């Protein structure tokens, strides 16, 4: 029987009304957006008419989940100190600003030209290969489910401490509520709710940072105390382990360029002006949320004594990183703790909704519909119905995995490591083929397959090493497979090198009518002088 902690009744009575209002608002938006689910294009892409604020917030809230606030901020803040702020800034300028600048416009133009609605669908139409679509769909299916299941982890410590309810109850509530508004409202409901959830995240993270700094005597005093207590390396500009820090920045920042749930946001954006505004909004959002989370985590070692007293640091100095942020929050005012509860829930639900919609649309449009379509035609209503069924499927299976991992599989190394390699596998497989597919006519089908194999293969090896099935000691391979962060970066960078090299030697697999695919960029449009001098 799980032992539940004592609860602060004041916090509970403040948090409950906030949560009730939050849940009611999310569900209300879902029902209000039903009119935007008449066909596949509306259900999956919002009719490609989503404005800059909704798209930017949808991008940001899909990017930053409770895993970052509770898990990564605690872990990397503990390991790097204040230098962990670089991770958030990297997320803002590489993962948001540069991603929007490099991918935004071209993704929107070419995906509409090719009439592709998902990333696997893009691979089929860009490279004239239905096999690529099936392979990509399989990769999405295998690696998004454990990634989705990991989203619930950030909720466990916080909700258990505040409400003293079992973890599975929180998982079930979150899964049901997310499922309701995604099923009824599709992408538009997800985008509107992401905007609301994003506002909550902005307000929440600023309030928490201010409260924690005040609790420690202000910024200067907190930094001074951190340096005295833990060492000056934790207040230095590049932290205690600059090399490891670099790999964390690269994976968490460059990785967004190849994740289907992130890139998919560019498919739906409305117009040129929306791309320009969305770029700025998304970057500022990332600076505050991601930069703020990691900056906050950088002060985690100030609470080392509290961590030890609570048993969160073992005698062998093994730290329970998921407990760092909850420990920092434990002595804050009930209002701030209640706000954080809603913040963490909002961060989790926004990312969860994006992942399940991406997974369901991919399986429906890229696997189920083509397979059934060979025998009979599936109309728009049936396609939307199938997607809704698969949304339920993905939510249920991810929730079940999360619950089983917390109870029966708590010590399962395989499940934990599978969640860890998901990001690297998806980004490693898809980033290079997608990026080169938008910019370079000579990218071949063979090079795309090579990238798929290299990216997923590297992370499967990483998984085998992590669970102890394979042993690699020292050398270059030992460095590459130090952990999933290292191998994930090598998967992405390796793909960027591999695709052009393989393409040069496999021009016989170049797609047909390649010029027709790129003519969308040369199409002339009429615009106002205020928008363009040309």
> Residue 48 is part of a domain; what is its CATH number?
1.20.1730.10
CB 306 within 8 A of CB 330: yes
Buried b (16+ CB within 10 A) or exposed e, 100-117: beebbbbbbbbbebeebb
Q: Kindly state whether residue 477 falls inside one of the protein's structural domains.
A: yes
| Residue 437: band (very low, low, confident or very high) from pLDDT cuts 50, 70, 90 | very high
Distance separating alpha carbons of residues 38 and 222, to the nearest angstrom? 54
Grade residue 338 by pLDDT with cuts at 50, 70 and 90.
confident
Same domain, 316 and 447: no
pLDDT at 408: 67
Count the helices and strands in the chain (H runs, E runs): 26, 0
Whether pLDDT at 387 is above 60: yes
Both 366 and 425 in one domain: the answer is no
The mean predicted confidence, pLDDT, of the chain is 86
Whether 287 and 334 map to the same domain: the answer is yes
The pLDDT of 338-363, averaged and rounded, is 86
| Residue 533 located in a structural domain | no
What string of H, E and C letters represents the secondary structure of 414-464? HHHHHHHHHHHHHHHHHHHHHHHHHHCCCCCHHHHHHHHHHHHHHHHHHHH
Q: How do the residues of the chain divide into helix, strand and coil, expressed in percent and rounded to 5?
A: 80, 0, 20
104 and 87 co-located in one domain: yes
Classify residue 385: in a domain, yes or no.
yes
Lowest mean pLDDT among 166-180, 273-287, 436-450: 166-180
Look at phi and psi of residue 81 and say left if phi exceeds 0, alpha if psi is from -120 to 50, else beta.
left
Same domain, 373 and 428: no
Q: Is 64 helix (H, G, I), strand (E, B) or coil?
A: coil
Q: CA-to-CA distance for 102 and 438, rounded, in angstroms?
A: 10
Average pLDDT rounded to a whole number, residues 178-184 = 89
Domain that includes residue 156, residue range: 9-405
Percent of the chain with pLDDT over 90: 37
Is residue 224 domain-shared with residue 354, that is, in the same domain? yes
Domain total of the chain: 2
Residue 4 lies in a domain: no
Q: In this structure, are 391 and 461 located in the same domain?
A: no
Quick one: pLDDT at residue 7?
58
Q: How far apart are the two ends of the chain, measured CA to CA in Å?
A: 71
Residue 373 — pLDDT band, cuts 50, 70, 90? low
**CA neighbor of 188 nearest in space, from 288, 79, 39, 86:** 39
| pTM (whole model) above 0.85 | yes
253 & 192 share domain: yes
pLDDT at 63 over 50: yes
Domain annotation covers residue 143: yes
In a domain, 113, yes or no: yes
Domain check: are 396 and 468 in the same one? no
pLDDT of residue 374: 65
Best mean pLDDT range from 304-308, 437-441, 482-486: 437-441
CB 357 within 8 A of CB 188: no
Q: What is the mean pLDDT of residues 36-43?
A: 80
* Overall average pLDDT of the 335-341 stretch: 86
Residue 450 lies in a domain: yes
Q: What is the tens place of the pLDDT at every residue in 445-462?
A: 999 999 999 999 999 999
Q: Are residues 376 and 460 in the same domain?
A: no
Q: 409 is written with which tokens? A: 């599989």
Over residues 268-324, the pLDDT tens digits come to 888 777 888 999 999 999 999 999 999 999 999 999 998 888 888 887 788 888 888
For residues 32 and 184, give the distance between their C-alpha atoms in angstroms, rounded to a whole number.
Answer: 9
pLDDT tier, 531 (very low <50, low <70, confident <90, very high otherwise): low
Which of 405, 429, 464 is the last residue in one of the domains? 405
Q: Are residues 395 and 436 in the same domain?
A: no
Residue 4 above 60 pLDDT? no
Summarised one tens digit per residue, pLDDT across range 504-524 is 999 999 998 899 999 988 877
pLDDT reported for residue 534? 44
The owner of tokens 């202000």 is 218
**3-state SS assignment for residue 217:** coil
pLDDT for 207 equals 92
Find all residues with CB under 8 Å of 329, minimum gap 6, and list them.
158, 208, 212, 336, 337, 340
Regarding predicted confidence, which is higher, 12 or 90? Answer: 90
**Beta carbons of 365 and 44 less than 8 angstroms apart:** yes
The whole-angstrom separation of Cα 157 and Cα 35 is 38
| Structure-block tokens of residue 211 | 């409260």
Checking if the pLDDT of 155 tops 80, the result is no
Q: What sign for the dihedral angle of Cα 22, 28, 29, 30?
A: positive
- Indicate whether 274 and 300 sit together in one domain: yes
Residue 147 belongs to some domain of the structure: yes
Q: Which of 376, 405, 434 is the last residue of a domain?
A: 405
**pLDDT tier at 416 (50, 70, 90 boundaries)?**
low
Quote the pLDDT of residue 2. Answer: 41
Question: Of 405, 437, 452, which residue is a domain's last?
Answer: 405
Q: What is the pLDDT of residues 208-264, one digit of tens each?
A: 999 999 999 999 999 999 999 988 999 999 888 899 999 989 988 998 999 998 898
């Amino acid at each position: 029987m799980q032992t539940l902690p004592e609860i602060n009744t004041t916090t509970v009575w403040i948090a409950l009304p906030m949560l009730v209002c939050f849940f009611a608002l999310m569900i209300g938006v879902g029902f209000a957006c039903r009119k935007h689910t008449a066909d596949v294009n509306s259900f999956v892409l919002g009719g490609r008419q989503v404005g800059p604020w909704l798209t930017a917030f949808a991008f940001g809230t899909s990017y930053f989940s409770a895993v970052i606030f509770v898990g990564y901020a605690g872990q990397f803040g503990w390991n790097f100190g204040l230098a962990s702020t670089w991770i958030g800034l990297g997320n803002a300028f590489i993962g948001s600003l540069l991603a929007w600048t490099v991918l935004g416009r071209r993704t929107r133009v070419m995906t509409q030209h090719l009439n592709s609605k998902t990333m696997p669908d893009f691979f089929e139409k860009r490279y004239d290969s239905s096999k690529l679509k099936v392979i990509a769909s399989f990769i999405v299916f295998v690696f998004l489910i454990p990634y989705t299941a990991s989203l619930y982890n950030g909720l466990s410590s916080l909700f258990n401490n505040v409400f003293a309810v079992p973890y599975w109850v929180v998982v079930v509530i979150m899964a049901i509520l997310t499922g309701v508004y995604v099923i009824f409202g599709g992408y538009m409901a997800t985008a509107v709710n992401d905007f609301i959830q994003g506002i909550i995240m902005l307000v929440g993270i600023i309030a928490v940072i201010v409260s924690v700094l005040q609790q420690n005597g202000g910024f200067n005093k907190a930094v001074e105390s951190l340096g005295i207590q833990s060492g000056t390396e934790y207040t230095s500009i590049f932290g205690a382990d600059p090399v490891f820090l670099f790999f964390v920045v690269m994976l968490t920042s460059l990785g967004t360029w190849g994740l289907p749930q992130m890139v998919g946001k560019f498919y739906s954006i409305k117009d040129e002006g929306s791309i320009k505004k969305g770029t700025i909004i998304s970057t500022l959002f990332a600076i505050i949320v991601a930069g703020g989370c990691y900056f906050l985590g950088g002060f985690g070692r100030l609470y080392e004594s509290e961590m030890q007293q609570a048993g969160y640091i073992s005698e062998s100095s093994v730290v329970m990183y998921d407990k760092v942020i909850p420990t920092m929050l434990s002595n804050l005012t009930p209002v701030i703790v209640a706000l954080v509860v809603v913040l963490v829930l909002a961060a989790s639900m926004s990312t969860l909704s994006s992942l399940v919609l991406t997974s369901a649309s991919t399986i429906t449009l890229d696997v189920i519909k083509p397979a059934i379509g060979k025998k009979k035609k599936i109309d728009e209503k049936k396609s939307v119905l199938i997607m809704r069924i698969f949304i339920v499927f993905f939510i249920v299976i991810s929730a079940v995995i999360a619950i089983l991992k917390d109870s029966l599989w708590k010590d399962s190394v395989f499940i934990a490591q599978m969640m860890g390699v998901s990001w690297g596998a998806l980004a490693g497989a898809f980033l290079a083929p997608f990026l080169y597919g938008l910019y370079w006519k000579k990218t071949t089908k063979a090079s795309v397959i090579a990238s798929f194999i290299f990216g997923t293969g590297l992370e499967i090896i990483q998984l085998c090493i992590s669970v102890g099935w394979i042993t690699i000691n020292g050398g270059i391979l030992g460095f590459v497979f130090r952990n999933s962060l290292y191998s994930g970066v090598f998967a992405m960078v390796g793909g960027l090198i591999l695709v052009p090299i393989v393409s040069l030697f496999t021009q016989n697999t170049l797609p047909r009518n390649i010029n027709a695919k790129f003519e969308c960029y040369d199409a002339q449009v009429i615009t106002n002088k205020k928008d363009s001098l040309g």
